[in-house]
Structure 1
Amino acid sequence: MSDHQILTAETHAAVRVRTDCAAELGDAVMCCLTVPAEFRQVQEHYPILFRQDAERTGFTALAMFGFVDGENLFLGEHGWDARYRPLALAIQPFLIGRTAAGGDRQQVHIDMASPRIGGGEGVQLFDEVGRPTPYLEAIAERLGELDEGYRAAPDFFAALERYDLLEPLTLEITLDDGSINRLVGFHVIDEQQLRSLDAGAIADLHQAGHLMPIFMAVASLGHLGDLVARKNRLVHG
């Protein structure tokens, strides 16, 4: 159960947030949302797959960390084993909210029910005179990047569908111990269809800023083998 509150120095002056990574802090997840604007950073470590939403009216992009629910192969006893964490995880327990009256005015909210609310542990949000700490300023910047990325994402997914650039992925992997892991219900960029696009389509994607994220998503698939290697190391202990 979440408890979203507008973040203010008056109400949250004593709040501390844990910034380490651990299963009990909510990091034991198979995947998280990512946005095209960060595909360049995400593809350095994680496969990027696409999944249709529940209403089957659109797609979301996901950075993959494992093969089954609750499995994060990047999470170990020493924390997160990669240099970059996708924005959707890195900003927790914060989120962007809107005013009750609507409109575009943005407010930083905090989920006070999050396990990252550290009591006496963690990083302060405000200094002794109520000014945001460097940590909170960095979070606000990341929230802005993520919000901007969310706003731009529908045009990217519409372009993928317009040019029929997504194909279903069914991946079956046999591990060293003989067990089988499957990834089903996901999509990837259809490389054959991408190569067949004419110059006009390529120019349209490039002008809209979509071509680079497409290439980054394709490049990220090389990390599926890395996920398998991580899983094998886990199986072998």
Structure 2
Amino acid sequence: MTSHALLDSNSHRDIRVRIDPGVDLGDGVMATLTVPTEFRRVQGHFPILFRREAGQEQFFAVALFGFESGENLFLDGTRWDAGYRPLSLAIQPFLIGRSAKDDAPAQVHVDLAHPRIATDGEGVLLFDANGLSTPFLEQVADKLGDLDEGYRESAAFFEALRAHDLLEPFTLEVTLDSGSVHSLVGFHIIDEARLRSLDAATLGALHAAGHLMPIFMAIASQAQIGPLIARKNRRRDG
């Protein structure tokens, strides 16, 4: 259940948000949404894969954390064991809200039912005694803005991938040191052979539109699959 509300300093003056990592705080996920404008920061830590919901044509990108539902191999108790935290996790329990008018400014909403809303006096305040945003809330607002902008710009990126047939199905079968086998299915990756076959004019157009760099970042992120498998093996050995 969710309980979204427009954030304001009067109604939510005393709200505190827990910022420590934890399975019970929403971090127990196998993957999380990421956007092309974030790929440069993501690719050094997590594999970037593409997928779409059943029956849907539109793709989206995810940063992969594990190989099983609910498995996050970067979560070590209450410690986030990576040098970056994807925006879609970092902004919880906040989200962008918009009015029916297209030109209306974005608004910060909060999910009051989210487990990160502290009920025991712990956590970080959103507003100070004068009702002004705390540095924490200002940082969250910046991240929300980055995520919102990246999400809105991603439609053109995925349209370019579709137009040039640059996504191919990806299936990975992982055999662990213990002998157990895990399979990743339902994902896509950049088709490198198809990318190499594009002519200079097409590559130039992709570069001019800002799409070529995130494509390369997504390809580079595949180097993180091996370390992710190693994390899985260490977790089982531990």
Aligned to 1:58: 58
Provide the C-alpha distance between the structure 2 equivalents of 1:135 and 1:58, rounded to a whole number of angstroms: 34
2:85 counterpart residue number: 85
**CA offset at residue 78 of structure 1?**
4.4
CA distance in 1: counterparts of 2:91 and 2:124, whole angstroms: 13
TM-score normalized with structure 1 length: 0.98
Shift of 1:37: 0.2
Within a 5 Å distance, the mapping from 1:113-192 to structure 2 comes to 113-119=113-119, 120-192=121-193
What code does the residue aligned with 2:194 have? Q
* Structure 1 gap ranges (5+): none
Following superposition, the deviation at residue 54 of structure 1 comes to: 2.8
Partner of 1:73: 73
Superposed, which structure 2 residues align to 1:21-40 within 5 Å? 21-40=21-40
C-alpha distance in 2, partners of 1:57/1:170? 19
SS at match of 2:171: strand
Report the CA distance between 1:106 and its aligned residue.
1.2
Question: 1:98 offset after TM fit, Å?
Answer: 1.2
SS for the counterpart of 1:11 is coil
| Kept after mapping to 1: 8 A contact 2:20/2:78 | no
Distance 1:116 1:78 in 2: 13
Q: 2:210 aligned with 1:212, yes or no? A: no
State which drifts further: 52-61 or 83-92: 52-61
Residue identity in the other structure for 2:184: L
Measured in 1, the distance between the counterparts of 2:96 and 2:54 equals 23
SS in 2 for 1:130: coil
DSSP 3-state at the match of 2:27: coil
Deviation at 1:102?
3.4
Aligned match of 2:112: 112
Q: Give 1:102's aligned residue.
A: 101
Percent identity between matched residues is 60
Provide the rounded CA distance (Å) in 2 between the counterparts of 1:143 and 1:114: 17
1:176 to partner: Cα distance: 0.2
Q: C-alpha separation between the residues in 2 aligned to 1:83 and 1:143?
A: 19
Counterpart of 1:21 in 2: which secondary structure?
coil
One-letter amino acid matched to 2:154: A
**Cα distance in 1 for residues equivalent to 2:127 and 2:150:** 27
Number of corresponding residues: 236
Deviations 1:189-234, CA, capped at 9 Å, x for gaps: 0111111110011001000000000000000001000110000001
SS in 2 for 1:171: strand
| TM-score normalized with structure 2 length | 0.97
CA RMSD, Structure 1 to Structure 2 (Å): 0.9
Aligned residues of 2:35 and 2:151 also touching (Cα < 8 A): yes
Q: Distance in 1 between matches of 2:86 and 2:228?
A: 16
Letter in 1 for 2:229: V
- The alpha carbon displacement at 1:108 in A equals 0.4
Is 1:229 aligned to 2:230, yes or no? yes
The DSSP-based 3-state class of the residue aligned with 2:225 is: helix
Deviation at 1:55, TM superposition (A): 2.8
In the alignment, which residue of structure 1 is the partner of 2:20?
20
